[in-house]
DNA sequence: CCAGATACCGCAACCGGTTGCAAAAAGTAT
DNA sequence: ATACTTTTTGCAACCGGTTGCGGTATCTGG
């Protein structure tokens, strides 16, 4: 049915190996034969069969991208960037969604493992031990989590947290709260560590919470009880949920409580009040992670740790402490 | 390196063909040999090589899923459902994002075509002619668009629109507006057709608009100018943008203008005011579309058209007309 | 006890590329 | 013109499964 390399070989009067090389090892074939072969191939509409190629080379030209939840607006920009970058390198991306479940995450990696050349693990909830074990089976690049000896792309939330806390204390807030994320989240731990390290601030930790609007909604009672007037949420979704919940209780943001999110997702830019947030360079992370992964696939060189900058974007959900 | 079918054959004292059949044609091998082979395989950690299998069978066991924009909350539930369903059938899903660009959409299909057994096309912006041409190369299932002779999954927006219009007129709104979507959108046309068919309502059409919050924001001026007090937006994102924009102009929703969205995405459920919306059965659509696709891949039977129900969910963004 | 059907299994070709090796062709130096 | 390189191409094995065909063992009925 489909046109194969042998059809092209026959039509252009050379051996199949020459056709093969015309595509995958141009320097090994005479330029004039090469152009002729390519022309014939184009003419016949030849497209190399990836499965066949994968069989001999051991490269599927696919990569896996594992995220906790596609529905979280944090991920789509990262996914898009990763896909675009992969496509540039003639790779395709399997996106898989773990529903925030470490169990599912591990299974997914297992089944993906044999059909991809490498896996991008975004904010994994797995234990380090598990990740290191899985690592034997397929190259990884980890995003938003530090795992010993693994190529990693990190976003410097610590810095963002420091900026956020300074912003809040600068506005006169004395009692702060950090609405933390899921218990397995590296980012959440980083945020706690960064906040705890700031001796000038009095911050209580509230959590763990689901990294969604519902998680924010659920944290409202604790936030109010904490007496904090400045709140840093695990992410924008949580912040939005929190603001909603506070509004329902008649608490004004930023009038009574200031709220800061993390991620700078689009809904946060358009919500009311517009969300003050720590911007994460998600697209850059996706792009770089793919480069790192494909780099470590081709050469055995395991990349190090890349840290991307974050920044604080001040909008309308934070204001002066009133007292 | 990896353990192959031959390793298993040797270790269990049978021929490779028997091992192969133990997996893919159980009824052709003696139950006791089969269990033994399976045990040995399990023991050795054997995993069949999909590329090799694909080479002989011509089935990659991958499907493509093409959406306009992963970042649109409408899609994730559909994607998740499709992936889950595909996984049940031992298939994997390539998700691709066209950035709302028909050009990109076509290229994507072209490159995907050779490495998947079928493609799910969600709300395609391509012309019918192009789709029918591409159809020669790979089986399709189209979601949210009617293309002659193609297996299709539709959501009955028409009904949703009728319910929405009735809801608005029932609240006393006389002048209505429909904020339409992108020009290539089948859903948008359906909505217009359904609205136009309701002779009792006076509805003006505003658009086309980008199917995002920004699109809604941009439509604010027109909406105000139209004098409508009841507005149906192309989707929830547009509705949210619209409400934001109206708020900025000091127009209260639902006090002065009632707004209805489409899709019932999570942000709409949590926004203020909570969005009245037409709920779309996206997860069901994803599931069914995959079944249809895999059905038409296995047997040549081209499925027909499946229509899924929609419903109106009344929340807080609609209210009595004040006059 | 035997012909014929049935169940199970092995053989080997094949899918469509890739690649090490060697032969042939072309180029260079002597 | 000869011997030696270098470039270009062909040959054939191989990747890891699948599957049509045929052989052997077991079972059936008469």
Query: CB distance B213–A73 less than 8 Å?
Result: no
For residue B142, give how far its alpha carbon lies from the nearest alpha carbon of chain A (Å): 21
Percent of chain A surpassing pLDDT 90: 81
Percent of chain A surpassing pLDDT 70: 98
Query: CB distance B270–A114 less than 8 Å?
Result: no
* B85 lies within 8 A of chain A by CB: no
Bridge-based pairing of strands B311-313 and B276-279 is antiparallel
User: Tell me, in Å, how far CA of B51 is from C1' of D18?
Assistant: 12
List all residues of chain B from 249 to 288 with a beta carbon under 8 Å from chain A: 266-267, 270-272
Separation of alpha carbons B163 and A71, rounded Å: 28
pTM of the entire predicted model: 0.91
Q: Using alpha carbons, list the distances in angstroms from residue A21 to A27, A29, A128, B52.
A: 8, 7, 43, 21
Which one of A47, A61, A70 would you mutate to disrupt binding with B, by most B Cβ within 10 Å of its Cβ? A70
**Nucleotides on strand D with an atom closer than 7 A to protein CB?**
7-12, 14-20
For residue B151, give how far its alpha carbon lies from the nearest alpha carbon of chain A (Å): 24
User: What values do phi and psi take at B233, rounded to 5?
Assistant: -100, 155
Q: Residues of B with CB below 8 A from A95's CB?
A: 79, 93, 95
Tens of pLDDT, residue by residue over B58-71, are 999 999 999 999 99
Q: Residues of A with CB below 8 A from B2's CB?
A: 114
Question: Sign of the CA dihedral A129, A132, A138, A142?
Answer: positive
Separation of alpha carbons B294 and A242, rounded Å: 42
CB atoms within 10 A of CB B314: 14
Q: Specify the long-range contacts of residues A107-113, CB closer than 8 Å, at least 24 apart.
A: A108/A64, A108/A66, A109/A64, A109/A66, A109/A134, A109/A138, A110/A134, A111/B87, A112/A64, A112/A66, A112/A138, A112/B92, A113/A137, A113/A138
Query: CB distance A47–B114 less than 8 Å?
Result: yes
Separation of alpha carbons B180 and A8, rounded Å: 49
Residue B4, SS3 per DSSP: coil
Query: CB distance A240–B96 less than 8 Å?
Result: no
Tens of pLDDT, residue by residue over A88-146, are 999 999 999 998 889 989 988 888 888 899 999 999 989 999 999 988 889 999 999 99
Q: Which of A30-39, A291-300, B38-47 has the lowest mean pLDDT?
A: A291-300
Q: Quick one: pLDDT at residue B299?
A: 65
Alpha-helix runs per DSSP H in A45-139: 50-57, 75-88, 102-113, 128-134
Q: How would residue A249 be classed by pLDDT, with cut points 50, 70 and 90?
A: very high
Bridge-based pairing of strands A258-263 and A276-279 is parallel
User: Tell me, in Å, how far CA of B4 is from C1' of D27?
Assistant: 35
For residue B70, give how far its alpha carbon lies from the nearest alpha carbon of chain A (Å): 6
Q: Quick one: pLDDT at residue A299?
A: 65
User: Tell me, in Å, how far CA of A23 is from C1' of D7?
Assistant: 18
Q: Quick one: pLDDT at residue B298?
A: 67
For residue A234, give how far its alpha carbon lies from the nearest alpha carbon of chain B (Å): 17
Closest partner CB to B70 (pick from A69, A76, A270): A76
Tokens for B152, please give them.
């299709």
A278: phi > 0 → left, psi -120 to 50 → alpha, else beta; which? beta
Separation of alpha carbons A100 and B58, rounded Å: 35
On the question of pLDDT at A179 being above 90, the answer is yes
Q: Residues of A with CB below 8 A from B274's CB?
A: none
Q: State which residues of chain B have pLDDT below 70.
A: 298-303, 323
Q: What is the mean pLDDT of residues A37-59?
A: 94
B31: phi > 0 → left, psi -120 to 50 → alpha, else beta; which? alpha
Query: CB distance B272–A244 less than 8 Å?
Result: yes
Closest partner CB to B270 (pick from A93, A96, A241): A241
List of A residues 26-65 with CB within 7 A of strand D: 27-31, 33-34, 52, 55-56
Query: CB distance B51–A71 less than 8 Å?
Result: no
Query: CB distance A83–B76 less than 8 Å?
Result: no
Q: To 5 degrees, how large is the angle CA A171–CA A176–CA A181? A: 125
Query: CB distance B213–A270 less than 8 Å?
Result: yes
Q: Quick one: pLDDT at residue B200?
A: 83
Tens of pLDDT, residue by residue over A207-222, are 899 999 999 999 999 9
User: What values do phi and psi take at A121, rounded to 5?
Assistant: -110, 115
Q: Which of A61-65, A148-152, A178-182, B17-21 has the lowest mean pLDDT?
A: A148-152
Closest partner CB to A77 (pick from B71, B96, B212): B71
List all residues of chain B from 58 to 77 with a beta carbon under 8 Å from chain A: 60, 69-71, 73, 76-77
Q: What is the mean pLDDT of residues A241-253?
A: 95
């Amino acid at each position: 049915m489909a046109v194969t390399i042998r059809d092209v070989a026959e039509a252009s009067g050379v051996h199949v190996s020459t056709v093969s090389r015309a595509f995958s090892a141009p320097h090994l074939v005479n330029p004039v034969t090469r152009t002729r072969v390519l022309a014939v191939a184009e003419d016949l509409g030849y497209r190399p069969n990836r499965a066949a190629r994968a069989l001999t080379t051991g490269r599927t030209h696919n990569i896996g991208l594992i995220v906790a939840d596609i529905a979280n607006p944090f991920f789509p920009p990262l996914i898009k960037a990763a896909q675009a970058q992969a496509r540039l390198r003639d790779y395709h991306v399997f996106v898989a969604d773990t529903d925030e479940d470490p169990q599912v995450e591990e299974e997914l990696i297992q089944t993906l493992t044999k059909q991809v050349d490498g896996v991008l693990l975004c904010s994994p909830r797995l234990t380090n031990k598990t990740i290191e074990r899985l690592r034997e089976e397929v190259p990884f690049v980890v995003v938003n989590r530090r795992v010993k000896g693994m190529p990693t792309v990190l976003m410097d939330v610590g810095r963002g947290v420091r900026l956020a806390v300074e912003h809040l204390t600068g506005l006169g807030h004395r009692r702060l709260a950090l609405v933390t994320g899921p218990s397995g989240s590296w980012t959440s731990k980083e945020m706690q560590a960064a906040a705890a390290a700031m001796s000038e601030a009095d911050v209580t930790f509230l959590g763990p919470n689901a990294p969604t609007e519902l998680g924010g909604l659920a944290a409202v009672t604790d936030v109010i009880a904490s007496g904090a007037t400045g709140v840093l949420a695990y992410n924008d979704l949580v912040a939005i949920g929190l603001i909603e919940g506070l509004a329902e209780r008649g608490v004004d943001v930023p009038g009574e409580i200031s709220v800061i999110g993390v991620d700078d997702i689009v809904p946060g830019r358009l919500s009311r009040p517009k969300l003050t947030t720590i911007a994460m360079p998600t697209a850059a992370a996706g792009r770089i992670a793919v480069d790192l992964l494909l780099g470590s696939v081709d050469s055995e060189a395991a990349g190090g740790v890349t840290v991307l900058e974050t920044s604080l974007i001040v909008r309308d959900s934070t204001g002066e402490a009133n007292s």
